[in-house]
Structure 1
Amino acid sequence: MDRDIVQRSQIFLDFEQNQHSHARKRRGPEAFHQALAHGDLSLLKVMVSEYREDVNLVFEICSKEMEWQAEPVALGISGLWSLEYKQELTSPLCIAASHGYTDCLQYLLQRGAKPNMIVGTKSALHTACENAHTDCTEVLLEHGANPRLLTEEGLSPLHLCDTAQSFWCAKLLLKFRADVNRLTEEDQESPLHVVARRGLHNHVHLFLRYGASVNVMNVHLESPLGSACASAWRLESQGDYLQVCKVLIMNGANVNSVDNEKRSPLHKASKNASLQLVQLLLRHNADVNAIDYNGCSPLANVIQTAPFKEELNPQWTVQTLLNHGSRRVWPAAFPKVMKSCAASPKTIEVLFNSYQQIQVTEKWMEVVPEEIFQLHQPFYESLFALACSPRSLQHLCRFAARKLFGNQCHTLIPRLPIPKCLCGYLLLEPEGLVY
């Protein structure tokens, strides 16, 4: 049995030697590229030391990709899938850095590879950071890679640290004096914009500790806080964005900064029905009645997107804005609200209950699709029944109390010595019916 093991081992060694021998016979860039692509250090040493392959060789990689080509024709647009040939330039260092082959990278640098050579659009350091290879990033920096070097698009390595896994790469770059406030050439975005948009709160902490400007504006006049609020649209990532915004605000972010369309962070958080973000911004004195260039308030933004955000319970955001003194929708425009929010009856209920009395008309009934009416029949029947009757005395008392408290409803009502259910009623908690 021992003899069989020895024979199998010898066969395996012979196979490996034959493979390397075959690669050596091929010589040239092809074998050199294969050694790099597979992280084969022994073969790489052979190609460089024996066959004198240039460690700064520029590889031209051709790839074939199917792309949709649209062609205008007489009756509209038609197209077809076309095979496109794409060329990409790369270098041995970039290949090793992209795969995380630290030993190959170390060897190439020892043999004279240039760490700051831009090939195609970026350097090896950009590639290592983009792929979150911490060890490769450290080796490159220790061998003189410039942490402030820009790609052809004007991106620094720090701009490419845009995933949670790239945190240690970012920390190394800053240790080697990367510019934390470097702006991209086209969009004028700082690294803080990038990580705020990605919801990377650890990166945000790190960049601020190294002096990142918290209120820097990009080409659209958007701050990192605005970028974070605009990006918090996925339910599963809202906690990350909440942490990002808390850190930014604690470090002096302006909650009422506006972009080139006059949209504030509250406009963006409301549009995403991000309840916790809305509450955070309002606690820090965000303007609940700010108007953007389209004439929309934060309340109007959440109403517009409510039908598409049902999983986020947009009625809670509407309720919060109203309890902080948001101006209500003009009564004559309520049919438009009914039309756009028909699939979100709780949103309609909260809005409707914020008025003392608003006339229900036949037009309201016409804009609600039959299938939605059937799906939420008890609510819509209770709403349309008010076409010929006034609101209840209980509701009128609620309206009077809310008018007295004004924009402090959220603070004063919970302090009242009343049952919790009555407190919820005063705060417009939806019940599923109106009366």
Structure 2
Amino acid sequence: GLWVLSPRRQHTSALRIAAARGYEDCARHLLLRGAAVDAVVGGRAPLHDSAAAPHPNCARLLLAFGADPNVLSADGSAPLHLCTAPHSLRCAELLLAHGAQVNLGTRDRQVTALHVAARQGLVAHVELYLHHGADPSRRTHQGETPLNAAAAAAERPEDSERFLRVAELLLAAGADPRAAGRKGHTPLHNACANGHPALARLLLHHGADATVPNGAGDTPMDCALRAVPEYRRQRPEETLALLLEHGALPAHPKMLRLCCQHPPAMEVMLNAYDRVPPAHGWVEAVPPELWEERREFYASAVLMAGRPRRLQHLARVAIRRHLGARCHTAVPKLALPPPLRHYLQLPIEGLIS
């Protein structure tokens, strides 16, 4: 039959089935026979199904028969909100060409199409929506901006490049890199928590604050340290060094336990102190096989714990503290021999001296 019925409600319609499966000829026949193009049956209209599938041929047909591009589903979503896959770009273009409101938010959460595209890492969609006037500063009911959404979703290393490109587009369009969203997380908190040094660098370049705490009191440095065990292959030492160069303070010594199994990150952190903290808080967390493999580094760290560092290192710490958040711009301009400028940038040397 044309309907799938329960005793109390209809779950779908023939036109919804045709639109969802891309049966253009069938959908045209139904429309010519009087099927209601915007009927919301079972929570969605046919245009929602064609956008979600996606089937641009059916979306084009429905729009030609007068479908409302801003029709809301039962949960308050418009068809544009359902363009969540890379190959849905043509559907998004058709919807916008027929009057879809690019800044329309979902009914309850106020999520816009730009939020959706940013969260999915859809570079072409983000470009399209920004071209049509999407507001990169629009917030959801939880306070999330599209940039927050992109930074939070950039969890998998294999997706890092496309989320970086999304962030570049949003920042170029005026997105605020300091905007705190859900639980007080800024985009930088999320980039650090996801072990994404390139994204952290981009955000810091655009003025993100390396010292601001989130709702739980954690700074981006705290988030970066917690990410070290999971993202060792993503060069977490680069993120830590970036934060320090932009004014972040060295973490509390108890946090060293989080990075002690990745010697490059551990070295960056130990060199941020004027005196190496006691080793008892982290030494037992180093696996014996790793200790044996990196014996020179760990032995040097334990040997220097609690002892005065070299005068050269103390001078480095003093200069970096004086420069504070200007380190990243000021150090390269100092009238010093290149090896000394390099030393000021906390290079990885493989031991603590």
* 1:393 pairs with 2:328: no
Q: Residues 275 and 305 of structure 2 are in contact (CA less than 8 Å); yes or no, is this contact kept in structure 1?
A: no
Q: Which structure dedicates a bigger proportion of its chain to strand? A: 1
| Alpha-carbon separation, structure 2, partners of 1:220 and 1:110 | 44
Name 1:378's counterpart in structure 2. Answer: 296
Provide the rounded CA distance (Å) in 2 between the counterparts of 1:217 and 1:302.
Answer: 25
Q: State yes or no: 1:341 paired with 2:259.
A: yes
Deviation at 1:140, TM superposition (A): 0.7
Aligned to 1:89, the other structure's residue is in SS state strand
Q: Which amino acid is 1:182 matched to?
A: L
Is 2:256–2:281's contact at 8 Å kept on the other side of the alignment?
no
Say whether 1:94 aligns with 2:16.
yes
Alignment partners' CA distance in 2, 1:197 and 1:293:
21
Alpha-carbon distance in structure 1 between the residues aligned to 2:242 and 2:10: 52
Contact kept in structure 2, 1:266 and 1:298, CA below 8 Å: yes
Deviation of residue 297 (structure 1)? 0.7
Identical residues among aligned pairs (%): 37
Give the gaps of 5 or more residues in structure 2. none
Instruction: Indicate whether 1:59 and 2:59 are aligned.
Output: no
The two structures have a TM-score, normalised by structure 1, of 0.76
| 2-structure distance, mates of 1:365, 1:255 | 37
Equivalent in 36, 39, 53 of residue 131 of structure 1: 53
Q: 1:95 to 1:396 in 2, by over 3 A?
A: same
> How far is the alpha carbon of 1:113 from its aligned partner?
2.1
Task: Say whether the 8 Å CA contact 1:96–1:104 is kept in structure 2.
Answer: yes
- Taking a change above 3 Å as real, the CA distance of residues 123 and 375 of structure 1, as seen in their structure-2 partners, is farther
How many Å apart are 1:268 and its aligned residue?
1.1
Deviations 1:106-152 (A, max 9, x none): 22222222211222121111111001211111011001111111111
Describe how 1:2-81 pairs up with structure 2 within 5 A: 29=1, 57-60=2-5
In the TM superposition, what is the alpha-carbon distance from 1:389 to its structure 2 partner?
4.4
The 2-side partners of 1:359 and 1:160 are apart by 52
1:263 corresponds, among 185, 204, 210, to: 185
Check conservation: 2:137, 2:145, Cα contact below 8 A: yes
CA contact under 8 A between 2:10 and 2:41: conserved in structure 1?
Answer: no
1:241 equivalenced with 2:133 (yes/no): no
User: 1:309-324 residue pairs with structure 2 within 5 A?
Assistant: 309-324=231-246
Q: Which residue of 1 aligns with 2:350?
A: 432
Gaps spanning 5+ residues in structure 1: where? 1-28, 30-56, 62-86
Please point out which of 305, 321, 326 is paired with 1:403: 321
Separation (CA, whole Å) in 2 of partners of 1:193 and 1:245: 12
State the alpha-carbon separation in 2 of the partners of residues 421 and 204 from structure 1: 43
> Between Structure 1 and Structure 2, how many residues are aligned?
351
Aligned CA-pair RMSD: 2.1
Following TM superposition, by how much is the alpha carbon of 1:417 offset from its aligned partner in structure 2, in angstroms? Answer: 5.6
Q: Do the aligned partners of 2:275 and 2:307 also contact (CA within 8 Å) in 1?
A: no
Q: Deviations over 1:160-203 (max 9, x none)?
A: 01111111101111111112122112322111111111111221
- State which drifts further: 336-345 or 214-223: 336-345
Aligned-pair CA distance for 1:370: 3.2
1:167 aligns with 2:95: no
Change in 2 beyond 3 A, CA 1:356/1:157: same
Cα distance, 1:338–1:373 mapped onto 2, change above 3 Å = farther
Quick one: distance in 1 between partners of 2:3 and 2:347? 65
Q: Which is bigger in relative contact order (C-alpha 8 A, separation at least 6)?
A: 2
Secondary structure of 2:11 counterpart: strand
Q: CA deviation at 1:60?
A: 4.3
The offset of 1:307, in angstroms, is 0.7
Q: Confirm or deny: 8 A CA contact 1:215 1:253 kept in the other structure.
A: yes
Q: Is the contact made by 1:319 and 1:428 (CA closer than 8 Å) also made in structure 2?
A: yes
Instruction: Read off the aligned partner of 1:186 and give its amino acid letter.
Output: D
Select 1:325's aligned residue among 247, 253, 278.
247
Equivalent residue, structure 2, for 1:351: 269
Query: Relative to structure 1, is the Cα distance of residues 106 and 398 closer, same or farther in structure 2, using a 3 angstrom cutoff?
Result: same
- Cα deviation, residue 418, structure 1: 5.4
Residue 415 and residue 96 in structure 1: after superposition, are their counterparts in 2 closer, same or farther (change >3 A)?
same
Which amino acid is the alignment partner of residue 358 of structure 1?
V
Query: SS of the counterpart of 1:238?
Result: helix
For the pair 1:155 / 2:100, whether they are aligned, the reply is no
By how many angstroms is 1:337 displaced? Answer: 2.0
Counterpart Cα distance in 2 of 1:276 and 1:97: 41
**1:108 corresponds to 2:30:** yes
Question: For the Cα contact (< 8 Å) 2:69–2:95, is it kept in 1?
Answer: yes
CA distance in 1, matches of 2:322, 2:95: 56
Q: Judging changes above 3 Å, is the alpha-carbon distance between structure 1 residues 378 and 142 closer, same or farther for their aligned structure 2 residues? A: same
> What CA distance in whole angstroms lies between the structure 2 residues aligned with 1:363 and 1:200?
43
Residue 209 in structure 1 maps to residue 128 in structure 2: no
Structure 1 residues 360 and 94: CA distance shift in structure 2, 3 A = same
Residue 122 of structure 1, aligned match among 44, 55, 66 = 44
What are the superposed Cα offsets for residues 201-234 of structure 1, whole Å, 9 maximum, x if unpaired?
A: 2211211222222211112111111111111111
TM-aligned CA deviation for residue 421 of structure 1: 5.2
The SS at the match of 2:183 is coil
Please state if 1:281 is matched with 2:203: yes
Distance 1:88 1:322, change over 3 A: farther
